[in-house]
Amino acid sequence: MEGERNAPPLFNLAWHSDFFWDGGSNHIDVQPIAPITNPVEMNEDVARVLAKLKRSKFYPEMFKRAFGSDTITTQAMTRAIAQFMSSLISANSKYDQVKAGTVTFTAGEQNGYMLFKAKCESCHKEPLMTDLNYRNNGLDLHFKDAGRARITLQPSDSGKFKVPSLRNVAVTFPYMHDGRINSLSKVIDHYRSGIIQSATIDPLLASGNMSITDAEKQQLLLFLNTLTDHTFLNDKRFSEK
């Protein structure tokens, strides 16, 4: 069974106050419950997960070292997962190194950065590269997925989704809340020629498509690639092996 939403990348979550595309979880300590119990994700029961952990040869001792007791509770389990997620920090891309003054952008990357600041930064605020707000970015006229309105029950939130971070965006395809766009180039094309006006369109996009030339598009792609943090992506602490 496939879900209807694209899984967002996990990094820099310690700076988020709510989670998921619709903000359905408002604390990192309880966020893990949703994917554990979701039928299209882990499709598990919390009590069953706890029983598996308790039968493990090594988890009880690990919990004792972390929490002072080998009794594995829901609170201890979700807190452990939350602490791990909080440790997923991406902050050493070329962009970060430029900001630190240790390297410089190429001419094309610099031009792309200036275009980013002019066209994109209103929603993708530095340094997280997201303003953490919920916006309708013009994908649809009618909304199969109501987005933020699922949580607030406000029609004015229909079709609004959390603005994703652009950090590591070159390697986190597919894009949009439902994964409908499979390349970063096509994402830019959406903003150049595909914005659909609707009742809840973000005011920043209400004037229509963005004016971005082919040359500017290539420069913007060059900049977006500087947001890839290879140190983070190759950190063995976060590897399954």
Q: For 169-227, what is each residue's pLDDT tens digit? A: 999 999 999 999 999 999 999 999 999 999 999 999 999 999 999 999 999 999 999 99
Which residue(s) pair with 181 in the sheet? 175
Cβ 78 vs Cβ 34: under 8 Å: no
pTM, two decimals, is 0.94
Per-residue confidence band for 240, with pLDDT thresholds at 50, 70 and 90: confident
CATH topology of domain 13-86: Cytochrome Bc1 Complex; Chain D, domain 2 (1.10.760)
pLDDT at residue 1, as a whole number: 62
Phi, psi torsion values for 181, nearest 5 degrees: -115, 125
Q: Report pLDDT for 164.
A: 98
Q: Cα(233)–Cα(121) distance, rounded to whole angstroms?
A: 24
Give the helix, strand, coil percentages of the chain, each rounded to 5.
45, 5, 55
Q: Is 235 left (phi over 0), alpha (psi -120 to 50) or beta?
A: beta
CB atoms within 10 A of CB 203: 9
Query: What are the residue ranges spanned by the domains of the chain?
Result: 13-86, 94-231
CA distances from 39 to 1, 18, 19, 88, 96 (A): 8, 22, 18, 26, 38
Per the prediction, the chain carries an average pLDDT of: 96
Kindly give the pairing relationship between strand 134-135 and strand 161-162. antiparallel
Distance in angstroms (rounded) separating the CA atoms of residues 160 and 17: 17
Share of the chain above pLDDT 90, in %: 96
CA atoms within 13 A on the CB side of 177: 24
Per-residue confidence (pLDDT) for residue 241, from 0 to 100: 65
Domains 13-86 and 94-231 share a fold: yes
- Which CATH number is associated with domain 94-231? 1.10.760.10
Q: What is the pLDDT of residues 52-81, one digit of tens each?
A: 999 999 999 999 999 999 999 999 999 999
